[in-house]
Chains A and B, each alone.
Chain A
Amino acid sequence: MSVPAVDGWFRLAPCGLIATADDSTILEANDTFLAWSGYDRAGLLGRPLVALLDPGSRLFFETRHRQVLHLRGAVHEVALTIRRADGAELPVLLNAVRDSDGVVRFAIFNATDRVRYERDLLAARRAAEQSEQRVRVLQEVSTMFGVSATDAELAQSFADVARDAFSARETAVLLTRDDGQLQLTGGSNPLEGKVAPVRELRQTAEVTVVHDDDTEYSELSAAMRDEGIGSLSVTPLIADGERLGVLVCFFAGHAEVDDHFLDLQQALGRQASQTLVRVRLQRRLALLALHDQLTGVANRQLLQVSLDDALTLAATSLEPLAVLFLDVDDFKGINDAFGHAAGDSVLVELASRLRGGVRAGDIVGRMGGDEFVALCPGADPSAAETIAQRILEVCREPIAVADGVVTASVSVGISLFQPGSDPQPTAQHLLVRADVAMYDAKRAGKDRAQLSTP
């Protein structure tokens, strides 16, 4: 058997072979390539190779592979699409080497079947990635929030997750205040103060996208152009029919609004709303657990914690601390004369007056029954005396109940911790001393205050 002629190897090679000059002009092509591409020799030689590529391949080849060819001298396994003479697409894989004269030699393989398979693979992978992203994003806005999370922390976290998920330049979470107005609570709003709020958008019930060239909201679009925002999306945060606020995403370019985008915005809005409701509820429950249900002031547990904190603070800041122990005079008599319901409303009213009688920053709590305690950080003996006198005064005012008017009074015992002169007491010790002083006040005739003697 004779060895095939070299010329035949070139012409009839099992791949397309072409050579181009540095400017991409085709210098030579083998028969295989002519057959695949459908061009005749005369029509092909002298044409630029890029003219044979479809626009997408041309963009990619000219912007990337041309540079790599120059710098590295070769490219491998480049996937491109050639336009055949009859206009049909021919997907190919090619290798190319560039010699020192700038001549580039290409080996080209028909990749029609492979490309079809890869496209299916890619479509499947994209779908999987999108659903994976959806799950991840929804998890991020619903987990990791404990009771202690504030609205601001939640809003910031929603803003961060949305910014990441949608590749937004900035995101803002605006929450509805008690007066019904929206307030920026998390993220940032580049249009703040640049354009008047658009009512319809703030109250939208659906995900709404505005582009900078839309005419519907012309002032908003103009402001977007000034700030370099191509698109923005507004997603309502609604739970159980209650409008909690909106999530706004600001995009540097024009946002690609497809089903995946809208679906993810919607799901994110829903999940964020539910999270907000849940954490607010937990917060409310936690608050209830530490407050007296009848009067709303601190309960015994919260008083205990607060007293410990106040003692530590007094010791470190060297500021005095006063503890006032209050007991309603003849509370049993009030109950007997007016009934327990009236007794309860007297307690509620006295608790409210106590809160009004102490200074801002002081803590009022109910120990149980008709006993209350006030913690007054920073109060020296004379300040404590002043506070006690004010309390006595406000409590003497008549109280209207269902069946008439009650006149009540309280007895107050005061204990003090003055760092520097006093040894450090325990919380229990301070409370007991105040309690003892309170009984002294009772014995001395009620409706008065008594300072504890150490």
Chain B
Amino acid sequence: MTAAAEDRSLKGAVDVLRRNNVTVSGNPSGPVVMFAHGFGCSQETWNLVAPRFEADHCVVVFDHVGSGRSDWSMYDRGKYSALDGYARDVEEILATLEAEDVVFVGHSVSAMIGVLAADLNPGRYRGLVLVSPSPRYINDDGYVGGFEPADIDALLDSLDANYLGWSRQTAPMIMGTPERPMLEERLTDGFCSVDPEIARHFARVTFTSDNRRDLESVRVPTLVLQCREDAIAPMDVGRYVHAAIPGSRFEILETTGHVPILSAPDDVALHLRRFLS
């Protein structure tokens, strides 16, 4: 990113950067790597991976609207009722930063958000890294996503059970500051904080999404990183993504679970560095 672009972004387009709590670090003249978090957390989930690229890259991290320290008042249920709303935000952030030749690294649902963003403006990207991606979580004819529609309802029940006390109506009463409800619903921790209503909506949108058809239109070099025994995005789903994206690479990480960026940051960073060079 040029100094002029940085200057412009400070003046003209603060809104987008503030809306998404965008943090730019590392080498401003280095190639741009953007890290995007998945459902359930915020940019902090990249804490063990992103800083390793600051020496030679311009590192961009951000929070999706409704997550972390983004501007929650910008949460527009209509816009974010499909993943393309989030993809448009990614494009706006990169356009504001005047970032070109970007490598987009997306975890979980953000992998698909990256696919959609690259479809909006393929020329902006040098590569896509999809960490634990799933284009569709619900099983379909001839496709095993791993879940049934009833499971997604159960997830929403699970969210309800966890956020019972924190509905829009009761939170301000409990915290005793009804005039600043948005602030109080974040509770105290900032990162990984949730607004129950937004979390519920984001969960529904994420886990009922079907972006299988978008995979074949990817024209950007793509790396798929897959864990063993991922209960959310199983191995076969990762292979499906790899097979559907023309010319993509597929790497299996030596870790289990859905969050290799925290459980195996060394491994993720290694593959990422190889891909970047």
- Is the pair B41, A56 in contact by a Cβ cutoff of 8 Å? no
Q: What chain A residues lie within 8 Å of B84 (beta carbons)?
A: 228, 252
Supplied contacts A60-B159, A63-B108, A122-B164, 7 more A-B pairs, CB within 8 Å:
A48-B231, A68-B41, A115-B161, A118-B161, A122-B160, A167-B81, A252-B82
Chain B interface residue count, CB cutoff 8 Å, equals: 52
Q: What chain A residues lie within 8 Å of B54 (beta carbons)?
A: none
Q: Check A60/B155 contact, CB under 8 A, given A23-B255, A23-B256, A252-B84.
A: yes
- Is the pair B154, A55 in contact by a Cβ cutoff of 8 Å? yes
Nearest 4 pairs of A and B residues by beta carbon: A56-B154, A64-B40, A252-B82, A167-B77
- Is the pair A253, B45 in contact by a Cβ cutoff of 8 Å? no
- Is the pair A169, B258 in contact by a Cβ cutoff of 8 Å? no
Flag whether A198 is at the interface (Cβ < 8 A). no
- Identify 11 residue pairs between A and B in the complex whose beta-carbon atoms are under 8 Å apart, listed by A's number: A22-B263, A23-B257, A50-B257, A55-B151, A57-B155, A62-B231, A67-B40, A67-B45, A68-B192, A72-B189, A118-B164
- Is the pair B259, A253 in contact by a Cβ cutoff of 8 Å? no
How long is the Cα–Cα vector from A54 to B161 in the complex, in angstroms?
14
Give the contacts of A68-120 with B (CB-CB under 8 A): 68, 70-72, 78-81, 91, 115, 118-119
Flag whether B12 is at the interface (Cβ < 8 A). no
Give the contacts of A1-56 with B (CB-CB under 8 A): 22-24, 48, 50-51, 54-56
Flag whether B39 is at the interface (Cβ < 8 A). yes
Flag whether A144 is at the interface (Cβ < 8 A). no
Binding site for B on A (CB under 8 A): 22-24, 48, 50-51, 54-60, 62-68, 70-72, 78-81, 91, 115, 118-119, 121-122, 125, 129, 163-164, 167-170, 228, 230, 251-254
For chain A, what secondary structure do more than half of its interface residues adopt (helix, strand, loop), or is it mixed? helix
Which of B39, B40, B169, B256 has the most chain A CB within a 10 Å cutoff?
A: B40
- Is the pair B161, A253 in contact by a Cβ cutoff of 8 Å? no
A-B contact count (CB 8 A): 138
- Encoded as 1 (CB less than 8 Å from any A CB) or 0, chain B from 148 to 159 comes to 100111111111
Q: Check A253/B208 contact, CB under 8 A, given A66-B262, A71-B192.
A: yes
- Is the pair A24, B232 in contact by a Cβ cutoff of 8 Å? no
Shortest distance between the CB of B257 and any CB in chain A (Å): 6
Name the CB-closest residue of A to B263: A22
Q: What chain B residues lie within 8 Å of A118 (beta carbons)?
A: 161, 164
How long is the Cα–Cα vector from A148 to B76 in the complex, in angstroms?
30
- Is the pair B41, A67 in contact by a Cβ cutoff of 8 Å? yes
How long is the Cα–Cα vector from A395 to B258 in the complex, in angstroms?
89
Name the CB-closest residue of B to A168: B78
Flag whether B191 is at the interface (Cβ < 8 A). yes
Name the CB-closest residue of B to A254: B208
- Is the pair A59, B147 in contact by a Cβ cutoff of 8 Å? yes
